[in-house]
Amino acid sequence: MLRISIFGTGNVAGHLFEAFAAADSVEVEQVIGRNKTALASFERKAETVSDFTQIADTDIFIIAVKDGAIAEISEYLKEKKGLVVHTSGSVPMAVLSHCPRYGVLYPLQTFSKDRNLVMDSVPFCLEAHDKRDLQLLKKLAGRISGKIYEVDSQQRKALHLAAVFVNNFTNHLYHIGKEICDEKGLPFAILQPLIEETADKIKQLSPYEAQTGPARRGDSETMAAHLEQVTKLENPTFKDVYEILSASVKKLYRTDDGASN
């Protein structure tokens, strides 16, 4: 049995809590947070604690709070014998180095309230100062996910940046697609199959191979027509997005092989 504590009451803490509470051979002993209202939703399945002098001794302390609050919370754990980990993509492991045992358990996924996730397919990026602790983290993460990766702080930082491109920015492109549909009275659902196929296709082809469209084939006529259209949209920023992304695609293929498709 692995006895764990979770710090935080936000989306990541909530999703990890639900997964670990349902997992075999894991016991979530305490959920610790300052917001008593938010803590209430955890009460049924674990002890909840808002007084930081009441932190119990467990095997693993998971700090799932905002990046800026990790160091402060870890101050309460520097006398603990258990392994202290945070769940952030962009904070180096070293921020916990004043604790006797420390590491990182970074779930590479976007978590939303009110949206269930299959935790088994969430990649867990693990790092630990000590090799045995890395094994312990693998054991713990393996209880809720089938996708376990060893990732050091530099790599994790890169992944966090990559996630901004493929998740945050992609979502913004979806938003632009929706605005275009809205302006013409079209349902956004009409784009959903294309969006899903785009995401699915790259399991079979690399994104480099999968690239299509006017910028890829150097079709200046279509791009000029699109620019004229995009200029008429309510939001003038979308024109800049069209121009920069087209330029980036064009540059990528022109530099590489001078070809078009």
Binders of a second copy among residues 107 to 136 (CB under 8 A) are 108-110, 112, 115, 117, 121-123, 125
Among 18, 34, 56, 90, binds a second copy (CB under 8 A): 90
Taking the least distance from each CB to a second copy, the nearer of 22 and 194 is 194
Rounded to a whole number of angstroms, the minimum distance from the CB of residue 61 to a second copy is 24
CA distances from 244 to 180, 186, 234 (A): 18, 26, 19
Place of tokens 């935790």: 119
Which of 208, 231, 254, 260 forms a contact with a second copy (CB under 8 A)?
A: 208
Q: What's the 3-state SS for 94-136?
A: HHHCCCCCEEEEEECCCCCCCCCCCHHHCCEEEEECCHHHHHH
Among 168, 220, 231, 260, binds a second copy (CB under 8 A): 168
Binding-site member from 44, 193, 257, 258 for a second copy (CB under 8 A): 193
For residues 200, 206, 212 and 215, what is the CA-based torsion angle, rounded to 10 degrees? 130
* Nearest to a second copy of 142, 214 (CB atom): 214
Rounded to an integer, what distance in angstroms lies between the CA atom of residue 124 and that of residue 127?
10
Q: Which is nearer to a second copy, 37 or 165 (CB)?
A: 165
> Could you say which residues in the range 210-249 bind a second copy, by CB under 8 A?
210-216, 222, 225-226, 229-230, 235, 237-238, 240-242, 244-245, 247-249
> What is the rounded distance in angstroms from the CA atom of residue 208 to the CA atom of residue 252?
9
